[in-house]
Amino acid sequence: MRRVVCVLGVAAIWSAAVFAQEASIPQTARQALLEMFFSKTSGTFAKHLPAVTLAALEKSGALASLQQYSLLAGQLQTQGTNFHTFETGSVLLSGEDAKTGQKVEVTVENDALRGERDDIELSFQTYKNGEAQRTPFMPRMTFTMKQEARVWKLNEISVTIRLPLADPDLLKAMTENMKARENANVSVTSVSTTSQTQSSMSSAGSDAQVLAAMRTILTAEITYATSYPRVGFTCTLSDLDGFGGGEPNEHQAMLINSGLASGKKYGFVFTLSGCEGAPVTSFRLAAAPNTNIFGRKAFCADQSGTIRSSDDGNMAHCFASGTAIQ
């Protein structure tokens, strides 16, 4: 009995020692890169970003959206993509779509570890029904990982595109593409004005999207005037922009995303005007359809927050006698 107890005790001590040794092995840069993009654990993408990057994202309000990247592996599996990652060896990732028979392999061409920096160069190869697909445009990517507080962080991404001008596949693709464009140009001349209008409208956003964008701007204007009472409202969309470094200020209040701040979204042009007073106490917000989109309403609003529309797309009619939207 004593012998059995001694054996069990030795085994327990040996197991604990092995576990402690494995737990103390630091994570490699390659393991950190895989964890960053393919871990199912929430927050792993943000974990491997530099501290200054996280701080800037947090100030801009974009940090919460990083959750989707942390769940990339789950999304791929949900879509029916079978993939495997490898912490060692020449292959970093192998993924296959059973429905289409397409497969992609990500290969580690070079892993240059120098102290607290590791440059991982990757190449890509695609397969169709087991046959490698040749393409001269396939890029190579280098992920530069640096240690920060003993954690590997993604510090830089470099992309290199190889373009062999004498490659037969490239020459064939170029000639076929030129022929396709010529045929497309011939077809375009026979398209009617009605079909062009339908195509333009299908690529534009819905009225609900445009209205949501207007409400976002109106809310941002109220917040802006409250935050900067000496200025009041603004007639410059870029003042409401949500991307930038440092603290929010009157020229970059970080209240709307940069796409909307550009003034062009959903096939509409958004503009602010009519700012009067010091501080500014009134403004006008207009959302006019692009000139190449026919049959769309014009939308308008002012500091009251009431949004109106004009069926004829005329902005002057919208402000003068537009129909109020509930």
Give per-residue pLDDT as tens, 135-152: 666 678 899 999 998 899
For the chain, give the number of residues.
326
**How far is the C-alpha of 222 from the C-alpha of 303, rounded, in Å?**
8
Residue 279 preceded by cis peptide, ω within 30: yes
What pLDDT score does 4 carry?
43
pLDDT score recorded for residue 197: 45
Tokens 């040794």, located at residue: 21
CA distance 76 to 101: 15
Most confident region among 7-21, 84-98, 184-198 by mean pLDDT: 84-98
Q: Report the Cα 161 to chain-centroid distance in Å.
A: 21
For residues 284 and 313, give the distance between their C-alpha atoms in angstroms, rounded to a whole number: 16
CA angle centred on 95, ends 94 and 99, rounded to 5°: 150
> Which of 54, 48, 45 lies closest to 29, judged by CA?
48
Q: Return the minimum-mean-pLDDT range out of 76-80, 114-118, 271-275, 313-317.
A: 76-80
Banded model confidence at residue 193, pLDDT cuts 50, 70, 90: very low
**Burial of 270: CB neighbours in 10 Å, binned 0-12, 13-18, 19+:** buried
What pTM was estimated for this model as a whole? 0.47
What pLDDT score does 190 carry? 46
Structure confidence at residue 46 as a pLDDT band (50, 70, 90): confident
Residue 231 pLDDT grade (very low, low, confident, very high; cuts 50, 70, 90): very high
Which has the higher per-residue pLDDT, 319 or 132?
Answer: 319
What confidence score (pLDDT) does residue 191 get? 44
Q: What is the mean pLDDT of residues 29-51?
A: 83
Q: What was the pLDDT predicted at 83?
A: 74
Given this model, what pLDDT does residue 201 score? Answer: 44
pLDDT band at 322 (very low <50, low <70, confident <90, very high): very high
- Which residues are CB-neighbours of 263 under 8 A, at least 6 positions away? 237, 269, 270, 271
Residue 233 reports pLDDT greater than 70: yes
For residues 127 and 205, which has the higher predicted lDDT (pLDDT)? 127
CA–CA gap between residue 322 and residue 326 (Å, rounded): 13
234, two tokens: 């603004």
**Highest-scoring range by mean pLDDT, 13-22, 41-50, 166-175:** 41-50
Mean pLDDT of the chain: 78
Residues 6+ apart with CB under 8 A from 5: none
Of 290 and 225, which is predicted with more confidence? 225
Q: Is the separation of the CB atoms in 288 and 266 below 8 Å? A: no
Q: Sorting pLDDT into bands at 50, 70 and 90, what band is 44?
A: confident
Whether residue 157 contacts residue 144, with contact meaning beta carbons closer than 8 Å, is answered with yes
Q: How far apart are CA 221 and CA 272, in angstroms?
A: 10
In order, the DSSP letters of 186-252 are HHHTT--HHHHHHHHHHHSPPHHHHHHHHHHHHHHHHHHHHH-TTTBS-S-GGGGB---SSS-BTTB
What is the pLDDT averaged over residues 169-178?
71
| Confidence label for 58 from pLDDT (cuts 50, 70 and 90) | confident
Confidence of residue 244 (pLDDT cuts 50, 70, 90): low
Tell whether the model's pLDDT for residue 313 goes beyond 60. yes
CB 93 within 8 A of CB 84: yes
